[in-house]
Each structure stands twice: as C-alpha cells, then as structure tokens.
Homo-oligomer: A and B are copies of this chain.
C-alpha cells in the first residue's frame, strides 16, 4: 500500500482531483511513481474513508464538477511514519531494456524505432523538468534556493527526474546508433 504515500506526497503541492492526479502520475510530471487513473480513484476513496485526505466538491462552469483533495493531519502523520521506516529497494521494470538485452537474437529495426521514440519522450520530459525547476526556485539561483527556500522537496525530486531523463535520452540514442550500425554491417539482414 505504497501508492497512498505517493498520493499524499503529491497532494502536498496543492489541491488536486483524481483526474489531475492521474495526469501527474501518468503523462505528467511525477517521475518518481506511476499509477493508473482507476487506481487513483479507488485509492482516493479509501484514503478519504480512512481520514488521510479530505475531499471538497468544486463546481465548474462548462465542465463536470470535480472533487479536489487535501492532506489531513492524519495524512501527515501517515507520511511521517512512512518516511521514518526503512525504504524498500527501488522497483524498476522496463520492457525496452529487456528487449535490448536480447537484441542479439532479434530483428533490430523495431527496437531502433522504440529507442528513438523513448529518446523523444525523454527529451520532452527533460524540457518540462527544466522549466519546472526554474518555476520552483522562483527567481533565485539554485544554490541559495536550496539553502534558504521553504519548499525544496519537489525541487530535489525534479532534479532526480532531470538526471534520469537526461541519462535515458543519451543511452537510447547511443544504443539506437550502435544497433543500427551493426545492422548495416551485417549486410542488411532483417533478423539473425
């Protein structure tokens, strides 16, 4: 039940609806966690029942109503307990890297395509993160902000996301190039 902690952490940035959280946890920003909309709606219901978050109905014009959530004191306590407990090892599961591992026995063409796609996605996120860092430090330089800023948590995780995406971008392009050159070398055979 670790999704709830990720939700609590995300809700520290402001009030969000299930739909908004779904974007944050999917296409959007949060590079530290992934969750599907269905998961979020279900979890938010449970969390509200458990008193960890409080929902508030917001009426909108030209759009359906939405329910936005805020972290309660009980939610903060839950987060504190979670943070003090030893962290579980990071969970990394990536189809693409599995494919590259097996690439010697496979047709390289679709792999190269997928690597380039992933590289583009990484580049897009990279831009997003860079803008976000600028916005988060609001006029200040990085060092003074990290020393004296009030809320550095999101900044630090954004830095992690930036590092990760930069690394991913480089690796994907380099790997795509390597596989392509090898494919050309072997006389254009499509598969081994």
Q: Which A residues lie at the B interface, using CB under 8 A?
A: 2, 5-6, 8-10, 12, 31-34, 76, 79-80, 82-84, 86-107, 110-111, 114, 118, 121, 146-148, 150-154, 156-157, 159-160, 163-164, 167, 170-171, 174-175, 178, 181-182, 185, 191
Complex: how many Å from CA A9 to CA B102? 5
Q: Are B98 and A32 in contact, with the CB atoms below 8 A?
A: yes
Q: List 18 A-B contacts (CB under 8 A).
A: A2-B93, A5-B95, A9-B101, A10-B101, A12-B105, A32-B92, A32-B98, A33-B92, A83-B111, A87-B118, A90-B93, A90-B96, A104-B151, A147-B181, A147-B182, A159-B174, A159-B175, A160-B175
- Across the two chains, which residue of chain B brings its CB closest to A91? B93
B156 near A94: Cβ-Cβ < 8 Å: no
C-alpha gap A154/B83 in the complex (Å): 35
Smallest Cβ distance from A91 to chain B, in angstroms?
A: 4
Main secondary structure of the interface of A (DSSP, over half): helix
Distance in angstroms between the alpha carbons of A89 and B124 in the assembled complex: 14
Interchain CB contact under 8 A, A79 and B97 = no
Bound form: Cα–Cα A175–B101 in Å: 32
How far is B102's CA from A87's CA once the two chains are assembled, in angstroms?
14
User: What's the Cα separation between A79 and B98 when bound, in Å?
Assistant: 10
- Complex: A183 Cα to B14 Cα, angstroms: 24
| A76 and B99 contact, CB distance less than 8 A | no
Contact B156 A163, beta carbon cutoff 8 Å? no
